[in-house]
Amino acid sequence: MSHIAYIGLGSNLENPVQQLLTALTELDQLDQCQLIAQSSLYSSKPVGPQDQPDFVNAVAKLQTELTPLVLLDRLQALEQSHRRIRERHWGPRTLDLDLLLYDDDFITNPRLTVPHAHMHERGFVLLPLQEISPEISIPGKGLVTEILHYIGTDDLQLLTVTE
Ligand code: ROI
């Protein structure tokens, strides 16, 4: 069975733009996964502690045969392969891959909560998500366009990436 999963990507260390571009290619190359769409890259002010570099964020849409927990394993392995540095809670990191949505499923598991618990509060997730799927709703929360309307996107900037 094929499923649709949305992945949030974030980085604020060691060339964040390159971290994300590489990660997008790697997502497409995962077994039983196909990258259907990728957003632009956005630069964003850190949510949480402010004494860290700005982030680069994006969202990817994957078609996958993997179950949510197996997909989570693959995402965590990718994070590790980017030698993820995570010194403190809500601190800087080389690569963060969050499983945001998996079909319209609600998943509550010690390792995984879907929809991602904070996604509806975060412009750096919602704006790229809206870019690739303008009609999408977050199960239990509502239309992304409507949520974005009241949380705003002032601290986000579209990046023009020239390779
Ligand atoms: N802030 C921004 N802007 N982007 C992120 O990806 C991000 N990720 C995090 C915390 C530290 C909460 N802040 C963030 O994990």
Q: Is the pLDDT of residue 85 over 90?
A: no
Atom of ligand 1 nearest to the CA of 52: 11
- Looking at ligand 1, which residue's alpha carbon is closest to its atom 11? 90
The domain 3-158 having CATH identifier 3.30.70.560: the answer here is: yes
pLDDT digits (tens, 9 = 90+) for 121-157: 999 999 999 999 999 999 999 999 999 999 999 899 9
Look at residues 25, 45, 44 and name the one whose alpha carbon lies nearest to residue 35: 25
Q: Is the pLDDT of residue 14 over 60?
A: yes
Q: Helix (H, G, I), strand (E, B), or coil: what is residue 67?
A: coil
CA distance 5 to 101: 5
- Looking at ligand 1, which residue's alpha carbon is closest to its atom 15? 90
Which DSSP string corresponds to 108-136?
A: EETTEEES-TTGGG-HHHHHHHHHH-TT-
Number of C-beta neighbours around residue 77 at 10 A: 12
Mutate which of 55, 98, 99, 121 for ligand 1? The one with the most ligand atoms within 8 Å of its CB, which is 55
Q: Is the pLDDT of residue 163 over 60?
A: no
pLDDT digits (tens, 9 = 90+) for 30-82: 999 999 999 999 999 999 899 999 999 999 999 999 999 999 999 999 998 88
Q: Domain ranges in the chain?
A: 3-158
